[in-house]
Amino acid sequence: MCGIWALFGSDECLSVQCLSAMKIAHRGPDAFRFENVNGFTNCCFGFHRLAVVDQLYGMQPIRVKKFPYLWLCYNGEIYNFKQLQKQFGFEYQTLVDGEVILHLYNRGGIEQTASMLDGVFAFILLDTANRKVFLGRDTYGVRPLFKVLTDDGFLGVCSEAKGLINLKHSTSLFPKVEPFLPGHYEVLDLKPSGKVASVELVKFHSYKDEPLHAACDTVETLPSGLDLETVKSNIRILFENAVRKRLMAHRRIGCLLSGGLDSSLVAAVLLKLMKEININYPLQTFAIGMENSPDLLAARKVAAHIGSEHHEVIFNSEEGIQAIEEVIFSLETYDITTVRASVGMYLVSKYIRKKTDSVVIFSGEGSDELTQGYIYFHKAPSPEEAAEESERLLKELYLFDVLRADRTTAAHGLELRVPFLDHRFTSYYLSLPAELRIPKNGIEKYLLRQSFEDSNLLPKEILWRPKEAFSDGIASMKKSWFSILQDYIDQQVDDLLLEKAAEKYPFNPPKTKESYYYRQIFEKHYPGRSSWLPHYWMPRWVKATDPSARTLKHYKSATQE
């Protein structure tokens, strides 16, 4: 996990512009480099490093003797770099996994490069010999990337939008900063002036298709039958493989553990595999909540069962409320459920950074979208519509849960790993018949739970624990985080302000005091940038005015029992 930043065709002095690069320093606390491009005095790269692999030669932009005309800045992890080396006979100069991008590009061009990468990534690749700039981002947008491109060809690229919004440019007072689309690469021509022109934006991978790199995966072809035992076995094999390949690290591995199904499965499989490859330190697991919250109690049970070194982070309502502004600044969004759920993740990440030496953090993101884990899936009119909704949620992950997971951990210099969003695992799961994937017997994620039923990885009550709204899971038994927020914000936002909300904020107008409060903070830091969020996250098939699961009839939280 790092912070990448680059400018092409800057009219302004680069030493002034590079102050913007410091806005993402949290993403790479170990080192910083600012480098001009030979022959292009108005082009440069900025890089903040979190050293996870190759402590010696891991600085960027990466340049190797074999390809002196290539410059690479990337943020991510390429899990199959050794398999690709073996398959194509690449000779690496460093131990950095991302070096494979240079070799793939030299061998087969940008299309093959992007398609063959098994991992999470955002990259800027410069080819000065052919005068091209390439941008690329992984299938689900697990690693963030933003860009600004003006009419006269000034290009700025950064891991977070905050590194671009204050750039100076002669022809544009308010350049449009936008997220780079996941699963795409872009080709741009580099002119002698250092300015660029976009040539094409190409979608290189759709999450439903088996990825091109599956051909050189460590798991060979799976049995193709659709009988339940074969399906369950394939799910277990692919999920275990997804966790195994993510063990690649020279820094200590930890795991977030809420005690829900997803993070518990990740933690249990992770610990099992760490033992198998003789990692000689205990797995640290981290749970956050208010005193005696359901998540804390469930996570304690899981940690005892799997034998992890467990840490509990307890926060009170005041600490949660105080963190909201920092959280919105980190997130760069005002989406209601994203902000709500980010407070706990932000505070637990802060604890991990300050009190432990775990840096590579596993988490359960992506499972709810993939395996239909949200409560409202019980209301789906048909299995086909449920499948379509699952795909829509996966497509928009980069705006919501994946954004939350990246920014809250990156704010504290941690690197997140999300095995549920493994390309092969997700493409297999989505290839299964729609009726196999829907909730059954009133229980969401039924197929996933069933697949691990006989594995003894988790206690039965955790494997079959129903979904908690995150804001309830971390809440105390006396009062939910949801209720605490509502009570506090009710005092902060006047009724009259809410009545006039649509006049003040015509795009995505706030409908509740809570959404108004978040929007106010967002506009303070990112005025006029509301289009970064195309729409609020809301459940479907129900008349919802609030995104929380607790507002749905099917939902019953442990704090309400």
Number of domains in the chain: 2
Please indicate, yes or no, whether residues 194 and 271 belong to a single structural domain of this protein.
no
How far is residue 109's CA from residue 94's CA, in Å, rounded to a whole number? 21
Please indicate, yes or no, whether residues 265 and 149 belong to a single structural domain of this protein.
no
How far is residue 218's CA from residue 84's CA, in Å, rounded to a whole number? 11
In a domain, 211, yes or no: no
Task: State both tokens at 502.
Answer: 């649509």
Please indicate, yes or no, whether residues 308 and 446 belong to a single structural domain of this protein.
yes
Q: Checking DSSP bridges between strand 184-190 and strand 177-179, what pairing results, if any? A: unpaired
Please indicate, yes or no, whether residues 37 and 110 belong to a single structural domain of this protein.
yes
Please indicate, yes or no, whether residues 282 and 391 belong to a single structural domain of this protein.
yes
How far is residue 159's CA from residue 167's CA, in Å, rounded to a whole number? 15
In a domain, 223, yes or no: yes
Q: Which of 203, 238, 255 represents a domain boundary (last residue)?
A: 203
- Pick the closest to residue 77 from 50, 57, 104, 56 (CA basis): 50
In a domain, 556, yes or no: no
In a domain, 307, yes or no: yes
Rounded to the nearest 10 degrees, the angle between the axes of helix 99-116 and helix 81-88 is 90
Angle at 12 between CA 7 and CA 16, to 5 degrees: 80
| CB neighbourhood size of 505 (10 A) | 18
Task: Provide the annotated binding site for ATP.
Answer: 256, 288, 363-364
In a domain, 195, yes or no: yes
User: Could you tell me the pTM of the whole model?
Assistant: 0.94
How far is residue 419's CA from residue 364's CA, in Å, rounded to a whole number? 7
Q: Which of 180, 203, 226 represents a domain boundary (last residue)?
A: 203
pLDDT at site 561: 37
Q: Which of 171, 203, 235 represents a domain boundary (last residue)?
A: 203
Torsion of CA 47, 183, 367, 299, to 10 degrees: 0
The CATH number of residue 302's host domain is: 3.40.50.620
- Cis peptide, bond prior to residue 61, ω within 30 of zero: yes
Domain that includes residue 501, residue range:
218-551
Classify 236 as helix, strand or coil: helix
Q: Is 304 left (phi over 0), alpha (psi -120 to 50) or beta?
A: alpha
Phi, then psi, of 174 in degrees rounded to 5: -140, 65
Burial of 85: CB neighbours in 10 Å, binned 0-12, 13-18, 19+? middle
In a domain, 389, yes or no: yes
Catalytic (active site) residue 158: no
Please indicate, yes or no, whether residues 260 and 173 belong to a single structural domain of this protein.
no
pLDDT at site 255: 98
pLDDT in tens, the chain (561 residues): 689 999 999 988 888 888 888 888 899 877 788 888 988 889 999 888 876 665 556 778 999 999 999 999 999 999 999 999 999 999 999 989 999 999 999 999 999 999 999 999 999 999 999 999 999 999 999 999 999 999 999 999 999 999 999 998 876 667 799 999 999 999 999 999 999 999 999 999 988 888 888 888 888 788 889 999 999 999 999 999 999 999 998 899 999 999 999 999 999 999 999 999 999 999 999 999 988 888 899 999 999 999 999 999 999 999 999 999 999 999 999 999 999 999 999 999 999 999 999 999 999 999 999 999 999 999 999 999 999 999 999 999 999 999 999 999 999 999 999 999 999 999 999 999 999 999 999 999 999 999 999 999 999 999 998 766 555 556 555 678 888 899 999 999 999 999 999 999 999 999 999 999 999 999 999 999 999 999 999 999 988 777 875 555 554 444 443
- Are residues 33 and 190 in contact, defined by beta-carbon separation less than 8 angstroms? no
In a domain, 558, yes or no: no
Task: State both tokens at 457.
Answer: 């990885």
How far is residue 543's CA from residue 540's CA, in Å, rounded to a whole number? 8
- Pick the closest to residue 369 from 295, 420, 441 (CA basis): 420
Burial of 57: CB neighbours in 10 Å, binned 0-12, 13-18, 19+? middle
Task: Provide the annotated binding site.
Answer: 97, 256, 288, 363-364
Whole-Å CA distances, 217 to 80, 425, 440, 531: 7, 12, 33, 39
Please indicate, yes or no, whether residues 184 and 289 belong to a single structural domain of this protein.
no
Please indicate, yes or no, whether residues 230 and 358 belong to a single structural domain of this protein.
yes
How far is residue 223's CA from residue 237's CA, in Å, rounded to a whole number? 11
Please indicate, yes or no, whether residues 189 and 232 belong to a single structural domain of this protein.
no
Classify 101 as helix, strand or coil: helix
For residue 415, what is the enclosing H or E element?
Answer: strand 415-417
Q: Which residue spans within 453-558 are E strands per DSSP?
A: none
Please indicate, yes or no, whether residues 481 and 360 belong to a single structural domain of this protein.
yes
Please indicate, yes or no, whether residues 152 and 22 belong to a single structural domain of this protein.
yes
Rounded to the nearest 10 degrees, the angle between the axes of helix 228-245 and helix 423-431 is 160
Per annotation, catalytic residue among 2, 43, 44, 255: 2
316-327 as b/e: b if 16+ CB within 10 A:
ebeebbebbebb
Please indicate, yes or no, whether residues 191 and 243 belong to a single structural domain of this protein.
no
In a domain, 244, yes or no: yes
The CATH number of residue 71's host domain is: 3.60.20.10
What sign does the CA torsion over 407, 411, 415, 419 have?
negative
Rounded to the nearest 10 degrees, the angle between the axes of helix 336-355 and helix 401-410 is 30
Burial of 38: CB neighbours in 10 Å, binned 0-12, 13-18, 19+? exposed
